[in-house]
Amino acid sequence: MTWDIPLSAATGNVLSVFGRTGAVVAANGDYFGVVSSALTGATSGTTRLAGALNVSGPPVSGTFQVGDMVMDPSATLWVCTVAGSPGTWSPTVSQNFAARSATATLTLNELTVFSGSTSAQTLTLPASAVHGTMNQIVNTASVSVTISGGASSLSNYGVSGNITLQPNQSVQIASNGAGGWFVISAPPYPPSWEFDYTQITSPVSLTGGFGTETTVITGASVTYDGSTTIMIEFWTPRVVTGTTANSNAVLEVWDGSTQIGGGVIIGTSPGTYDIRVPVVIRRRYTPSAGAHQFIIKGYSNTSTATVAAGAGTTTTDEPAFIRVTKV
């Protein structure tokens, strides 16, 4: 391997530079050649310091060969890994910072801070990453953002495919240099991660029957990755049935417009009195990739039933709530 380092402009007397004598000003083609034949493991070839850039980032024009190096104003040394015009370049620094707010393809070793306000944005990991390349992404936005492997595979603890990064989450991803990206930080959704908590502070009356259910509580819309198993939980301090004999109050779990659980049935025996009981519903579920909104609905088969809820003061009931967490 030969290191070719261009001479800078020189002043004063120079005894000899490649056969020239006297006061010599460095010109194109003047190099110090250091042959590394004595270095263990060195290979035959040339590594060129191709110069300095006036903007940050790799060269965007010119023709380069593998091993060429350039320095940008951020003190980042870029190395050409695939020859071409301008070729493929990899930084030697551990990170470079980028603030993004919309769909984009990331650069190698980029520390990305996403702050967009529009949903359905995708950040794509760079192609041709060398082994050890590491990208970190922080989502400071109020919406989720999708992380894609692009031309490379993306493995999230053995699960392949895109990652949905929720607000206030971050992820660290490393390349194996062979077309694969791997999440190496803690899982984006640790166990018990709360995707949603929605509560009501006023009671809800249940009337009608099956097919004409009353909405008790509607959770927030959350985007899921299609592989995360969740627990949907509903709690109310009290369900009060109607006083008609054989009156039943029924609570159901819905995923948008699709019923996914019959919930519970609270019924009276023959008689003209009501039943008052606290109710907990739990449903283990793996939602498909995309946005989901979980809803609790209910009805009473005869007289009106009530789902209790209050503000949680000394004289009122506790709030009723729906909560979604990672299993």
CATH number of 125's domain: 2.60.120.640
Same domain, 56 and 171: no
Residue 255 domain flag: yes
Q: What is the pLDDT of residue 276?
A: 86
What mean pLDDT is predicted for residues 140-157? 91
What range defines the domain where residue 119 resides? 96-183
Note whether 101 and 81 are same-domain residues. Answer: no
DSSP string for residues in 154-183: EEETTEES-EEE-TT-EEEEEE-SSSEEEE
Could you report how far apart the first and last alpha carbons of the chain are, in Å? 55
| Whether residues 178 and 216 fall in one domain | no
Of 90, 121, 141, which marks where a domain is finished? 90
Number of structural domains found in the chain: 3
Identity of the residue numbered 276: R
Is residue 191 a contact partner of residue 155, using CB atoms and an 8 Å limit? no
One domain for residues 25 and 114: no
Least confident of 133-137, 231-235, 272-276: 272-276
300 near 204, Cβ under 8 Å?
Answer: no
- 152, 183, 214 - which closes a domain: 183
Q: Which residue has the tokens 């509903």?
A: 234
Say if 188 falls within a structural domain: no
Cα dihedral across residues 308, 312, 318, 323: positive or negative: positive
For the chain, the farthest-separated pair of C-alpha atoms sits apart, in whole angstroms, at 119
| 175 lies in the same domain as 199 | no
Indicate whether 143 belongs to any domain: yes
Shared-domain flag, residues 223 and 161: no
Whether residue 34 has pLDDT greater than 50: no
Rounded Cα distance between 147 and 188, Å, is 12
pLDDT at 72 over 60: yes
pLDDT band at 74; cut points 50, 70, 90: low
Same domain, 68 and 157: no
pLDDT higher than threshold 60 for residue 243: yes
pLDDT digits over 42-56, tens only? 555 677 888 888 877
d(CA 49, CA 36): 16
* Residue 244 in this model has a pLDDT that exceeds 60: yes
Residues 168 and 231 occupy one common structural domain: no
Read off the pLDDT of each residue in 272-288 and give the average, rounded to a whole number.
88
- As a whole number, the mean pLDDT across the chain is 83
Query: Does 231 lie in the same domain as 305?
Result: yes
pLDDT, average across residues 305-317: 95
Radius of gyration of the chain (CA): 32
Top pLDDT among 290 and 229 is at: 229
User: Is 283 found in the same domain as 201?
Assistant: yes
149/128 Cα distance (integer angstroms): 11
Compute the C-alpha angle 48/50/52, nearest 5°.
140
Co-location of 73 and 100 in the same domain: no
Do 202 and 288 fall within a single domain? yes
Q: What is the pLDDT of residue 169?
A: 87
Higher pLDDT, 44 or 221: 221
Is 0.95 surpassed by the pTM of this model? no
Per the domain annotation, does 233 fall within a domain? Answer: yes
Least confident stretch, 103-107, 119-123, 156-160, 271-275? 271-275
Contacts of 301 by beta carbon, 8 Å cutoff, 6+ apart: 209, 247, 248, 250
